[in-house]
Structure formats: C-alpha cells, structure tokens
Structure 1
Amino acid sequence: MRILHINSYYAKSVFYKYFYDEQVRTRMAIDVYVPTSVPVGRDLGKYTLIRINHKKADRYIFYLKHMKIYHDIKKVYELDKYSIVHSHSLFTNGYLAMRIKQDFGIPYLVAVRDTDANVFFKRMVWLRKLGIEILNEADKIIFLSVSYRDAVIEKYVPAQFKKAILEKSEVIPNGIEDFWLKNRNVPQKIADSKHLNLLYVGLINKRKNISTTIRAIRILQNQGYEIHFTIVGKVSDEAIFKQFRSEPWVQYISHSSREELIEIYRNNDIFVMPSVTETFGLVYPEAMSQGLPVIYTRGQGFDGQFQDGQVGFSVECYDAKEIAEKIIRIVANYQVLSKNAVINANKFRWSDINQKYRNIYKEIQRY
C-alpha cells in the first residue's frame, strides 16, 4: 500500500510533519506533494516534494490554479502506483484527489478544514456545488470534531446527500508533539481562588479574539478577582496588540522555545482561547498536558472533543460575560478538571491517531 498525501497547507503548518514522520516510522510508504506559489524555506522531510507550479494571482481563479497543479502532479508522479490519495483539505486539495480518482480510479479520503467551512463554503457560493461533489465522490471524509462535522453537514450539504456523507465521515483530531506527552505535568491546584493566572498562546490577531478575553477579565476584576494574563505569540495585527500592551496585569512574550513554553503553561491556571473560527487548535491539548483546563469556542474545531465541563468549557466567542462565568466554574471544580485535562491529553498521541488512519486506508485501498 502506497499513499499520496496532497497538502498545500503543509508549508505553513509544521505539525503535519509529526504525522508523516510517524507513518514513516511505522514503515508506511508515503509521498507528500506540496503545491505552492512561493519558495519554502523549511525542511518538510525527504518524502516531500515541493512544487512551485502556479502564481499567487491564480488563487482568484480556482479552476485555472488547480488545473495547473493537476497537470504538474500528473507530470511528477506515476499515479497508478498509489493505493490511496489522502487530501488534507476539501476544496484546494480535495479537488485534485477527485480528479485523480476520476482519471485513475484511486480512492481518496478528504479532510475538512476551517478554511473549507468558513471561507469556501461560507463566502464562495459559486463553489459550493463543487464542494458537495468532492464530498460525494470521497471514500472517507475526516472532520476534527463532532461539532464541526455536524455544523458543516447541517449548513451546507443538501438534504438528499446528508445521510450518505454522514455515514462515511470519521472524526479524528490532530495530534500534538510527543514532547508534551512525555513531559506531562501532574494535576494542579489553585492556591487562591481570587487570584488567577490566565494564559493565551498563539498569533495576536482578530480571529483569535483576545479582545473578548480582555473584556471577560475586566468583568472578573469588577467582581474582586485579581487576574494576571500572559499572552505568548507573534503580533500579526498591531491594532489588537495596542488594546492590551499597556495593561499592567498583562504580560506579553513574543516568542518562546517549547522548553520555555512548558514552564509558562505550568505557571498558569487556565488556558483561554475563544477563537472566532478554529480548525482545531493544537495549543488546547498542549495546555491540557500541563494540567490547565481550557476555554474554547462552541461549534469550532476543539468543541466536541470532550463533554462540556470535562476538561473545560465551550463558550460563545463574543460573549465576555459567559467566558467570565465559565472561568469561575472552572475555579470551583479546578482539581477535577486539571486531573481530567492531564489524563485526556493522551487522546492526541500521534501513534494512536496514525493507527486510526491506517485502519481507514486498509478499508478503502484499491490494492
């Protein structure tokens, strides 16, 4: 069995390398194809072929861009030798997988990302029919959470296709680097329930919704809580950065190594990231591994991984009052939630996730 991965997002999302390395470690035969419009300056593994085969401007004309990529992929690979195509997004990569199946008879599985739901399906109405066709032709469909699966099928899939698409859908989360699981913390306690250390790790931009977290903190401060809020990450939106940089109770750290980050996690009590949209959010299970309960957005990628209240709580992303209330609820049951977080971080071990994919490959492979 040989698998061809098509992943245009790999150049920017390094976590995929842990998945591919695990497949190689378990003696799976893989090739990873990365179509791009710009050079890639990082090592993506010997199994990866990076191809600059279209221009940036081509992204405005979907079929032009993807026909260029499809002609290239046929040129550089002997497609007949593959048993399965694993496409890592619905539209951008899934279209290529569907064309390969139509022309070469190779089955494919397709992952549905945040961009597929919140950009292609939501905004590019003229491409919705194509998205449904890719889903219908797929042999398996991968969602990162139950809530994400249900939302996409409910909002965008016509009634006559819902049952068939649901039946061939699987829910498999992303994994985290083994470093976090090998260095799991013990469950934590809060020394003073009125003195809280909150944490955010990620890009500083509008989508991550730090401004609503700030409003929730002010609500807690008005209720007598003393809050220290640590923000770790690169600034990509200066306007958002200006909203909190002068606050005396905010500590900003622009960058940290994973060894430094693990100490930052351990020095905080609760991880708060009510993103407007989120495919998954690897920082949630990273925080869990260090004993931090988590606040995450209802209906987005992490929601549905666990029952609400098991390792933290879901919230409406713009509801600062609810975020404040859920932080208080975490404090009231902190030791149980911290213990649950540490134990359940194991769900995101790449070796276990890879085995789930191996089972799917065996189920749908051509030969």
Structure 2
Amino acid sequence: MDKILVITSILPIAELEHKKNENDILLVTENQLMSRDKSLKFEYLFFFPKANIVLAQFSRKWKAYFKLGQNETSLTQGKIIQLLPVLLLPKKVFFRNLLIQISLFRKRKVIKGIMETFQPTIIHAQCADTSAFIAKKISEKYKIPYVVTLRGINQFTDKKTVENIEAAANIVAISPKQLIDAKELTNKKVHFIPHGIHDSFFQYTQRLRSENEKLRLITVSRLIALKNIDKVIKSLQNFKKDFVFDIFGEGPEKEALQKLIFDLGMEGKVNLKGKILNEKLPTLFNSYDLFVMPSYPETLGRVYFEAMGCGLPVIATKGTGIDGLISNGVQGFLVDVHDEKLFSESFNSILQQLYNNQQLQTEMSKAAHEFARTFSWDEIVPKYLALYKNE
C-alpha cells in the first residue's frame, strides 16, 4: 500500500474564514486517484501561522489562527486534517527557516505520532518553500522520500528553496511557467502534471449566437483583489454592444464590487450571483459565450479548463500558469492587467471580435473543448500513480 503524507497550506479549512472557500483541488485529486487505485492512502498535515493571545486581538484572521492552534485536527469535507501551527513571518528573512525548525521541534511528538500511526511511504510537499522545507526535515529524520510541487517557486528563489528542490525524489510543475522557473534553479527532471477536470465538463454542445444577440460573459472565482474583476467591470463601460456579465463566487471583495456596479449604473448587465456548486457548472457554462478571469498571479486555475471543456474560450492573464498552454486567439486570449488602460483596450477589442465574428467564436469554442480534453483525469491520474510508485 502506498501512503502519501501531504504537507500543505492549501485546503478549505472551515475554521478560517479566509480559507473556507479555498481551492479544494488536493482533495479532488485524492478522490480521483483513490477511485482508480484502492491501495492508496492519504493523510494531510496543514500548516498555518502560529498565533498567541496577543496577536488574536489584532484581527479576526489572527484570532481564527489562535483558536485553530488550540486543536490537533480539523474536519474538512469529511476528511480529518492534522494541524501544524508554525512560527511564520510575512517576509523572507534569514532566520525564517530557523523559526520553522523550532516549530517542528515543539511539535515533534505530534509529528512522531503521525509518522508512527500513518507510516507514510512518501511525502508530498505542495509548495517549494515552507511545505518543502518541512518535508525535507521530516524526510531526513524518518528516511522517507518526498515530492515537491512547485507552487510559489516564482516568489521564493533563495538558497534554501534550491536545497528543498534538489533533495526531493521527484519534482512536479503544474504550469509551463513553473517548468521555466525550475530550469533556472535545478537540472533535475521536472514532471509536468497539471490539474485534472471531471468528465462532466466535456458535455459540449455548440452554441450559435444569433446576430445582435447579447454576448454572455461569466466568471467563477473567489471574490478577491488579485482576480481583477473590478478591472473587467470598469472596462465593460466602454463596450457598446449588448452583453451580460455574471459573476459567481463569494469573497471579501463582494461589497466593493457591488458598490462599483451600482456607481457605474451597470445593474442588470453585471450581476453578482453568489456561490455555485462545482457539479452545477457544466450546465451553467453551456449558457455562456466567454469565460473571463484575468487574475494575477495565478498558478493554474482549474476553472479555466472546466470552462474550456464546455466550449468556452477564456480570457486569462499573460505571465500566469495558463500562459504557454493556450495559444492567444485559438483557445482563448491572454491580456496584460498591469496597465489598466491597455487592459481595457485589449479586453474591449476581444469582445468586439467575438461579437462581430460568429465563425471565430465557433472555431475557438471547438478548439477550447478539444484542448481541455487533454486535462481529463484519465490523462492525469496515471502520471501521479507513476510518481508515487516511483515507476
């Protein structure tokens, strides 16, 4: 039996308000793997900033961290998650890893208990910095190999990060950008294994928008600043054709976005629709023409490929995970969000092209669907199995 201990800070932890709607891709990946190989077993070690009673007075986030730190486990989507509060600083200072080591020493009995009870055969660190550092230390003590997925590699490129990567048994990139970044740090082989998407998203039916029919835009995301939804709304002021832009999701930017919509007089055209269950997305996507999410930074949002599977071309951002996978003007469009004026011009030019050229939209829709099929779980799962079994 192969037992994987996953070390991560990326889980939808219900006790943390800012985390409860976190991407659940790790749990989804586990389910897909175990549905095809019953011999696998997963355990999660979720690390988060350690807070004390003083820090808990400063914000709701630190109060939530403090309360969470009083527990040893959390229940997330029916899964028991092991908790590891860690002394973390917001900036990368020279003694940051020393603080993490101190945290591991203080929690050595907890870690020992996990290792003796679960007896993992491999450790999977879900980022190149803290996760990988923790994995490396546990690996050295218990003589168990570890795998590193290169999340955060563009943010942390110091000597310790390189050491974390070099000591790993295997390295995983989930985007072409990570592959490029990894080449600057290591000569080791890097496995490209992106997120998979469920077969339900391949129920593609070609949509033919009639002349002068409104252009239907959609985004599905957490409502946070880096998604740049506000820039999309502002840009839509300049689009003179008929359209509707529906925004699905919840998050801290919701009130600000609602106010922006009201201030610009765009109610009815731009709509905040609230949270939607993932299993309802295939049917929903089939009612739209274009998926819009120009977030930055973005590792590799699964929702792009879910939308493309349903035949929606996407608008994404240059220099993010999807850049290098899709070709501009084929399965979607890549824009620059750093210059708001340039973004608005590019965005409106794209909408104008699709509105005026039904043939282009049809061709891009087919290309998006065909491309997304290469990200089915039937394609992705064997790569993970080979990785964990060291085949």
TM-score, L = length of structure 1 = 0.81
Higher relative contact order (CA 8 A, sep 6+): 1
Query: Is the aligned partner of 1:117 residue 2:151?
Result: no
Distance 1:297 1:89, change over 3 A: same
Looking at structure 1, the residues matched to 77 and 327 of structure 2 have their Cα atoms a distance apart, in angstroms, of 38
Deviation at 1:278, TM superposition (A): 0.9
Q: CA RMSD in A?
A: 2.7
Deviation of residue 75 (structure 1)?
3.1
Which residue is equivalent to 1:124? none
2:61 counterpart residue number: none
Deviations 1:111-156 (A, max 9, x none): 122x4534x45xxxxxx22112111222322122113432x347xx
- Alignment-derived partner of residue 168 in structure 2: 138
Q: Offset at 1:178?
A: 4.2
**Is the contact made by 1:287 and 1:294 (CA closer than 8 Å) also made in structure 2?**
yes
- Shift of the 274–356 alpha-carbon distance from structure 1 to 2, 3 Å rule, reads same
1:285 corresponds to 2:288: no
Of residues 266-275 and 99-108 in structure 1, the stretch that sits farther from structure 2 once superposed is 99-108
1:199 is matched with which residue?
A: 218
More deviation in 238-247 or 264-273? 238-247
Match of 1:343 in 2: 370
**Residues 168 and 315 from structure 1, CA distance in 2 versus in 1: closer, same or farther, beyond 3 angstroms?**
same
CA distance in 2: counterparts of 1:320 and 1:170, whole angstroms: 37
1:73 is matched with which residue? Answer: 111
Please tell me whether residue 84 in structure 1 is matched to residue 122 in structure 2. yes
1:172 alignment partner AA = I
Asked if structure 2 preserves the Cα contact closer than 8 Å seen for 1:54 and 1:65, the reply is no
Question: What SS class does the counterpart of residue 300 from structure 2 fall into?
Answer: coil
In 2, Cα distance between equivalents of 1:252 and 1:240 = 8
The partner residue of 2:247 within 231, 235, 254 is: 231
Q: Does 1:42 align with 2:76?
A: yes
Contact 2:258/2:272 (<8 A) preserved: no
- Structure 2 unaligned runs (5+)? 13-21, 48-64, 90-95
Residues 91 and 193 of structure 1, relative CA distance in 2, 3 Å threshold: farther
Most deviating of 318-327 and 270-279: 318-327
CA distance in 2, matches of 1:42, 1:2: 19
Question: Compared with structure 1, are the counterparts of its residues 178 and 7 closer, same or farther at alpha carbon in structure 2 (3 Å cutoff)?
Answer: farther
Give yes or no for the alignment of 1:171 onto 2:171. Answer: no
Name the stretch that deviates more: 21-30 or 69-78.
69-78
Matches of 1:235 and 1:314, distance apart in 2: 25
Q: Distance in 2 between matches of 1:258 and 1:75?
A: 35
Give the alignment of 1:23-34 within 5 angstroms: 23-25=33-35, 26-34=37-45
Cα offset, 1:260, TM superposition: 4.7
Deviations, residues 51-72 of structure 1 (Å, cap 9, x unaligned): 23426xx322554345434623
Point out the structure with the larger helix share. 1
- TM-fit CA distance, 1:257: 3.3
CA contact under 8 A between 2:4 and 2:122: conserved in structure 1? yes
Kept in 1, the 8 Å contact 2:153–2:182? The answer is no
Query: Which deviates further from its counterpart, 20-29 or 70-79?
Result: 70-79
Partner of residue 107 from structure 1, selected from 145, 167, 170: 145
Q: Distance in 2 between matches of 1:234 and 1:139?
A: 38
> Could you say what secondary structure the match of 2:299 adopts?
coil
Equivalent-residue separation in structure 1 for 2:259 and 2:375 (angstroms): 35
Matches within 5 A, 1:209-358: 209-221=228-240, 225-237=241-253, 238-245=255-262, 246-248=265-267, 249-258=269-278, 260-318=280-338, 319-331=343-355, 332=357, 333-358=360-385
Which one is further off, 297-306 or 233-242?
233-242
Q: Is the 8 A contact 2:175 2:299 kept in 1?
A: no
Aligned-residue offset at 1:321? 1.4
Q: Does the CA contact (< 8 Å) of 2:5 and 2:45 recur in 1?
A: no
**2:45·2:84 contact (CA, 8 Å) conserved in 1?**
no
| Pair 265,83 (structure 1): closer, same or farther in 2 beyond 3 Å | same
Shift of 1:266: 1.9
Q: 1:327 to 1:73 in 2, by over 3 A?
A: farther
What letter matches 2:88 in structure 1? Answer: R
Residue 129 of structure 1 corresponds to which residue in structure 2?
A: 159
1:18 aligns with 2:28: yes
| Structure-2 change in CA distance of 1:140 and 1:308 (3 Å) | farther
Give the TM-score of the pair, scaled to structure 2.
Answer: 0.77
Q: Which moved more, 1:330-339 or 1:79-88?
A: 79-88
Alpha-carbon deviation of 1:220?
A: 2.5
Secondary structure of 2:390's partner? helix
Pair 1:253–1:283, CA change in 2 (3 A)? same
The worse-fitting range, judged by mean Cα deviation, of 243-252 and 257-266 is 257-266
1:52 to 83, 87, 94: 83
SS at match of 1:243: helix
Quickly say closer, same or farther: Cα 1:187–1:92, change in 2 above 3 A. Answer: farther
**Compared CA separation, residues 179 and 263, structure 1 to 2 (3 A):** closer
Structure 1 unaligned blocks of 5 or more: 122-127
Q: Which amino acid aligns with 1:171?
A: F
